[in-house]
Structure 1
Amino acid sequence: MNRLFAAAALTTLIAAPASAHFQLVYTPDPNIERPGDVPLKLIFWHPMENGHAMDMGAPEDIFAMFKGEKIDLTGSLTAMTFKGADNEAAAYEATLPVKRNGDYIVALTPAPYYEGSEDIYIQQITKTFFNKGGIPTGWDEPLGLPTEFVPLNKPNNVIAGSTFSAQLLSEGAPVAGAEIEIEYIAAEPDMETNAAGEATVGAMPGGALVAITDENGVFTFGVPRAGHWGFAALGSGPDTEHEGKELSQDAVIWIKAYDLE
């Protein structure tokens, strides 16, 4: 069974909150004021529950797109250990070199992760957006990934209390009727200690937060509070098998919302 539909069935059958795996490409503030190297933390985790962290294998690819130029970030990868509330797990660090004003879109393709409880592999192809100087230069353009979200609102400065919309693509085509899991980073990682901070919210009752894409592959979510929000489409990618087992190839996007002050 496709993991997207399996997750929906499980949510229907049980009352306990569902745990959502989410791949992170994290730094505290995506809006960059001056040139320099921006540290990135690559963590596979349950961020809304401040729960279990999963061991990452070496990423298959990580790059940034800036004004049509692809910047390879694989040479900056360094293994690290992330400390969540419940356990420690293998994770990675990378560095984003920022020089000129504009949008830097980081795309991570992690190695497939084996989820023993479901007997499947999970690969969450993740996009995170950074900007220097407040000048938009391509945040709304697809990167040609196997599956990805293309934002319809500028993703690095969403206003808390407004809405965020994005279009889900698989091999460049819109995906209608897809379930989108929604996640919030409740305990933001400490960049120095590589450990989860204090949780600011708890897990939602009733299972995962979910939206559905329309006939054009678009979903909209009302963003209730400031912070980092993630969206995942389970099983939206074209690859469905890895090492003889089912593969859920997921699209993930992260945005940052701010309060008006």
Structure 2
Amino acid sequence: MKKKILVLSAIIAFAISTPVMAHFQMVYTPESALDKAKTIDMKLVFTHPFEAGHTMNMGTPVEFFVVRKGNKKDLTDKLKPITWKSLTNSGSAFELSYKLRGMGDNVFCLIPSPYYEKEEDIYIQQITKMYVNTAGFPTDWDAEIGLPTEIVPLDKPYGLWTGNVFRGIVMRNGLPVPYAELEVEYMNHKPLMDSNSFSKEAEVEAPQDSFVTMGIKANSQGEFSFGIPRAGWWGFCALGSGPATEYKGKELSQDAVIWIQAKDMK
């Protein structure tokens, strides 16, 4: 009996001492607000962005597309497999070079294949949006894309100063999700595009694990707000906000993710 108690105590101690890191599906490009259209490079990585921690192996995406001026263009066949290196391991990921055209918003949308999280014995599918604007001309940034679940921004995701408040609405099949639970993480290690890896140098140091993955909740109308304390990329993930709850006979957490970028006022 005493041995069992010691083992249980060790497990609890390990769990308490282990940093709380959230899974985040990244759709990354260095700059979200461009003066003019050009070819941009993107990386699709399923990882832990604050700690540049464990990178999960991505399967072939169900769909990857861009919406511009209300028109949808499929990009799934343009994706190329890569290996992404985190500070702890390497994992399967994807990349894409895409030529932007004209002025306006480009809403990049990823529906990844569900990922099996062995430790929790569940599948995770994070439906993700990332925005790139050219020439400051707004077109699609506040549009509902029609994804099974999505975060619809109430503020331009690419036009934010440090200190601004970002607001959004968590949606499921076109309807708000009351009191949705969200996780927020800062991209604390710069992605290195040429080497498909994270920089070893962190931008900030979290004083405690609660600051690594921050938790917020939406209100009764599915709306949330977040004050942006630092320039860079921020990810928001609404947990289990999607309509699908099962995959291959196991629990599925179908999440909605959105990435925003803030700039310092200089």
- Separation of aligned partners in 2, 1:55 and 1:27: 20
- Separation of aligned partners in 1, 2:77 and 2:18: 42
Q: Contact 1:48–1:202 at 8 Å: present in 2 too?
A: no
1:200 corresponds to which of 203, 206, 223: 203
Structure 2 matches for 1:93-108, cutoff 5 A?
93-108=95-110
Structure 2 matches for 1:4-153, cutoff 5 A?
14=16, 17-153=19-155
Cα deviation, 1:178-204, whole Å, max 9, x if unaligned, reads 111001100121111101012212345
The one-letter code sitting in structure 2 at the alignment partner of 1:140 is D
2:239 corresponds to: 234
- Separation of aligned partners in 1, 2:206 and 2:129: 24
| Larger-gyration structure (1/2) | 2
Q: CA RMSD in A?
A: 1.5
Q: Contact 1:148–1:251 at 8 Å: present in 2 too?
A: yes
Q: Contact 1:64–1:71 at 8 Å: present in 2 too?
A: yes
Which consecutive segments of 4 or more residues in structure 1 shift more than 4 A? 13-16
Q: How many pairs are equivalent? A: 250
| 1:206, distance to aligned residue in structure 2 (A) | 4.0
| 1:16, distance to aligned residue in structure 2 (A) | 5.0
The one-letter code sitting in structure 2 at the alignment partner of 1:95 is S
Does the C-alpha gap of structure 1 residues 243 and 203 become closer, same or farther in structure 2, counting only changes over 3 Å?
A: farther
Q: Contact 2:187–2:233 at 8 Å: present in 1 too?
A: yes
1:4 corresponds to: none
Q: Contact 1:184–1:230 at 8 Å: present in 2 too?
A: yes
- Separation of aligned partners in 2, 1:71 and 1:96: 11
Moved more, 92-101 or 51-60: 92-101
- Separation of aligned partners in 2, 1:206 and 1:90: 27
Structure 1: stretches of 5+ with no match in the other structure: 1-9
| 1:95, distance to aligned residue in structure 2 (A) | 2.8
Structure 2: stretches of 5+ with no match in the other structure: 1-11
Matched, 1:248 2:250: no
Q: Secondary structure at the match of 1:75?
A: helix
TM-score, normalising length: structure 1: 0.92
- Separation of aligned partners in 1, 2:74 and 2:33: 21
Q: Contact 2:179–2:221 at 8 Å: present in 1 too?
A: no
Q: Secondary structure at the match of 1:53?
A: coil
- Separation of aligned partners in 1, 2:119 and 2:53: 16
